[in-house]
Structure 1
């Protein structure tokens, strides 16, 4: 349970934590020490001085201007601390999924990204690097567009600030060099996160494919064993059972024909034949009843091999599935649901429950805590799943969850599922 909660909280906490590590020390130093001239050369410092100049008198020979300095320092502290807090809050909201307003729901929401970019530029405390690191989590095309906008805005604001403050030529050249270096670093940060996430997705996909292979192998082995046991039971019934029945009939006939002269061994042989025939019938019935396919082993193998999302598996007792087609349909439904949760929903957790109801019908309920379908049309995976279930007389109901996520409800009739 603790691992499951950690898996859900970590993606939302990583960017606020990065913001705290980058902006936290700078904010603390601003409140501990008085801001110096270098602090006021930033965008936030320029805004703080401009606002303070409107509400305080200009320094003169009689007035030292300490009020303006103190107000500028206070405004700078509040501005940069507020930008850091706002940036962290937006980072948390953007990673929280569909529980938040639609403007912040998608990681690629332009409004949220634009607001974060403005806070990063105004805050001027390294938040721009946290912002570009976040861009690495977006699709490549969207990440490149947002990265270009970030480089353009950061460079433009830096140059405008230089012009507004009328810096010396040597300082202007140095500032332009630093702006170019920052642009290069922003590209490197975004590229590193993109590569790291692609490598992680590849590892998850490889682990999922390996788990599917192992589960399919287990399911195939169960189906082969069940089929072989059924064949042996059928052959035992058709061959040994029929011969024993004929033997008992002939022994009974011989006993009746001999009458009172029948030896005791004839009665004993007839009794032994009857006992042996009953034992064979009992063995055949036992073997037929034990030909069920072990869906528990296949599903546990599949779910245990998936590194993310965390899957809670619940399987009822005495499912009695002896049909390979039925077992295959259920397995494919679970596999497709897990694949969708990994590729599209980006879910942190999901539940899989397989049981029988009072009528004997098989019920398979699958739910995740991801983004849901978002009103998108049904894909080929769900359509193929629905067609496969319809061939077995089953039904599929797919819908978004009441609060978030996506849910599947599958029902398969009892007919053909168990003998």
Structure 2
């Protein structure tokens, strides 16, 4: 069952809310009051006048009977409201990313939005230019130029059609130039804001990777030090205690019945101490496994976007630094790809052991997937690292969208 997620809904709702804030007051006035004569000289007014002329007999919507005027006003209201609603709906669908059909993310859909903005007026062109800030820089510049040409050209044609006086004509042209400048400023502000946000996300990700690497290194050093202490304790104290026990037993047999009680007591204490040392060595060796839990939790908690759901099973101690490093690098590379290429909003990472004791790492995101592109250097390096440890990697696009990685490391490889 699907659950409500505010962090997924909010990015999609930004553009419809912007349409409401920009075009809302104009639509309220449009439906509350009769438009003035200049409203009918817009693109929407021109279309409304021509349609109304086909159904009424009066010669002019501006100077003749009220039937044509009322029909023109009604058509203008319906047209501009419909354009605003259609524009907001397209903006909503485009903001949903990979969840919407590819056709709605195509240039044709963006061109339709531009036409709706010009025809609908009501300031929608500014919302359109703000939306251009989410595109790559070159594409944004091309669409911004098209928007300026179309919107400003339409404005200038309207000015010429009104046959204003020279003073009003110059003022109207100045307003058209100011409109173009505002469109450039709006696009630039969104571009800068999004670039700054991407930089903050990248910085946060780099910081999280540094902290996670430090945690993994600390865990590996701790496990290595415990292994060294256990080995030294076994090789030095264990061997000496074994030799001491053998000599005490030999002395006890040589003394026979004349052996003092303290000799038997010393032999018993040596045996007990040797057993304790062996138990301590076994315990220390068992605690030398590297637990990647803290490193992965630190890494995922420091990533602001996408949202990562981390699921780590029990009994995940790894006694090989190479395997622990391979698991960590696989997660790190998957997160990096989701941030830089996939545009994912949600990501899931599950690490567990199956019934055979093999390590299973499943990673999935809701991004745009590979799109049939060739495998990149990151995945190739991950696959090579896993091959050296006897592991396997399966990478595939999700359904209906997204990307998934399934990694298996055999128990023999994890123990090597």
Task: Report the count of equivalent residues.
Answer: 413
Structure 1: gaps (5+ residues): none
Residue by residue, what CA displacement relative to the aligned partner does 1:189-242 show, whole Å, maximum 9, x if unpaired?
111111111111111111110110000001001001100100110010011101
CA contact (8 A) 2:391 2:413 kept: no
Measured after TM superposition, the shift of residue 377 of structure 1 is 1.5
The alignment status of 1:219 with 2:181, answered yes or no, reads no
What secondary structure, in the 3-state scheme, does the structure 1 residue paired with 2:54 have? Answer: helix
1:322 corresponding residue in structure 2: 319
The alignment status of 1:68 with 2:65, answered yes or no, reads no
What secondary structure, in the 3-state scheme, does the structure 2 residue paired with 1:16 have? Answer: helix
Instruction: Say which of 131, 142, 160 aligns to 2:157.
Output: 160
1:145 corresponding residue in structure 2: 142
Residue by residue, what CA displacement relative to the aligned partner does 1:8-29 show, whole Å, maximum 9, x if unpaired?
1121111111011111111122
TM-score normalized with structure 2 length = 0.96
1:11 corresponding residue in structure 2: 11
Residue by residue, what CA displacement relative to the aligned partner does 1:35-70 show, whole Å, maximum 9, x if unpaired?
22232222111211121112111159xx95111011
What secondary structure, in the 3-state scheme, does the structure 2 residue paired with 1:318 have? Answer: coil
What secondary structure, in the 3-state scheme, does the structure 2 residue paired with 1:320 have? Answer: coil
Cα distance in 1 for residues equivalent to 2:287 and 2:250:
36
Residue by residue, what CA displacement relative to the aligned partner does 1:82-124 show, whole Å, maximum 9, x if unpaired?
000010111011111233222123xxx2111100000000011
Seen in structure 2, the aligned counterparts of structure 1 residues 297 and 9 have a Cα distance that, compared at 3 Å, is same
Instruction: Say which of 177, 180, 184 aligns to 1:180.
Output: 177
| Equivalent residue runs for 1:284-323 within 5 Å | 284-323=281-320
CA contact (8 A) 2:357 2:411 kept: yes
The alignment status of 1:338 with 2:335, answered yes or no, reads yes
What secondary structure, in the 3-state scheme, does the structure 2 residue paired with 1:409 have? Answer: strand
What secondary structure, in the 3-state scheme, does the structure 2 residue paired with 1:355 have? Answer: strand
Cα distance in 2 for residues equivalent to 1:160 and 1:386:
61
CA contact (8 A) 2:390 2:413 kept: no
Structure 2: gaps (5+ residues): none
Cα distance in 1 for residues equivalent to 2:375 and 2:88:
35
2:37 corresponding residue in structure 1: 37
Cα distance in 2 for residues equivalent to 1:64 and 1:325:
87
Instruction: Say which of 174, 195, 198 aligns to 2:195.
Output: 198
| Equivalent residue runs for 1:69-148 within 5 Å | 69-105=69-105, 109-148=106-145
1:394 corresponding residue in structure 2: 391
What secondary structure, in the 3-state scheme, does the structure 2 residue paired with 1:354 have? Answer: strand
1:26 corresponding residue in structure 2: 26
Seen in structure 2, the aligned counterparts of structure 1 residues 147 and 296 have a Cα distance that, compared at 3 Å, is same
Measured after TM superposition, the shift of residue 165 of structure 1 is 4.2
Measured after TM superposition, the shift of residue 162 of structure 1 is 3.0
What secondary structure, in the 3-state scheme, does the structure 1 residue paired with 2:179 have? Answer: helix
Cα distance in 1 for residues equivalent to 2:7 and 2:384:
34
Residue by residue, what CA displacement relative to the aligned partner does 1:114-139 show, whole Å, maximum 9, x if unpaired?
00000000011100000000111111
Over the residues paired in the alignment, what is the CA RMSD in angstroms? 1.8
Cα distance in 1 for residues equivalent to 2:87 and 2:302:
37
Cα distance in 1 for residues equivalent to 2:307 and 2:100:
23
Cα distance in 1 for residues equivalent to 2:26 and 2:284:
74
Cα distance in 2 for residues equivalent to 1:150 and 1:325:
55
What secondary structure, in the 3-state scheme, does the structure 1 residue paired with 2:181 have? Answer: helix
